[in-house]
Amino acid sequence: MQRSRPVFVAITLGYGAVLAGLGFVEWGGTGEVSWYWAVIAFIPLGLLLQLALGPRRWWAAIAFGVLGAAWIEAAQAIWMPLGYGRVEDAAWASLGVVVGVIVGAMVLRSMRSHESFRIVAESGGREIP
């Protein structure tokens, strides 16, 4: 898992950049998109953050995801037409991040449970895993 961590970091940064870029695309109409799109779009971000940061930093994955969602909505409120950036969207996106982090934690736990034990030391003729 250690060797693949830079790959997860790069993919996470790329996906976050795509989400930030898509946040400034006007989709037509009033700018209101259904709540489930925010959840669906941020689940992969939470999953990738969890895989990039590791199993012990789940709290940092949630914090970065929530901060990213809040930043996108704040930037939309500043640079997009009135009413485009909404607090509700940040809340739904944060829920998506939390769901993604939970899924990522389950993936990491299942990967860890399938690893073989390594012999650390030998004590009195018996092996200690």
Residue 71 DSSP SS3: helix
Q: Nearest Cα to 100, choosing from 61, 62, 44, 39? A: 44
Instruction: Inform me whether the pLDDT recorded for 119 exceeds 60.
Output: no
Full-prediction pTM beyond 0.85? no
Q: Which pLDDT belongs to residue 14?
A: 94
Q: By mean pLDDT, which of 23-32, 36-45, 73-82 is the weakest?
A: 23-32
Q: Which pLDDT belongs to residue 81?
A: 76
Q: Nearest Cα to 47, choosing from 110, 108, 111, 114? A: 108
Q: Which pLDDT belongs to residue 124?
A: 64
Q: Once rounded to an integer, what is the mean pLDDT over residues 51-61? A: 92
The answer to whether the CB of 87 falls within 8 A of the CB of 59 is: no
Instruction: Inform me whether the pLDDT recorded for 23 exceeds 60.
Output: yes
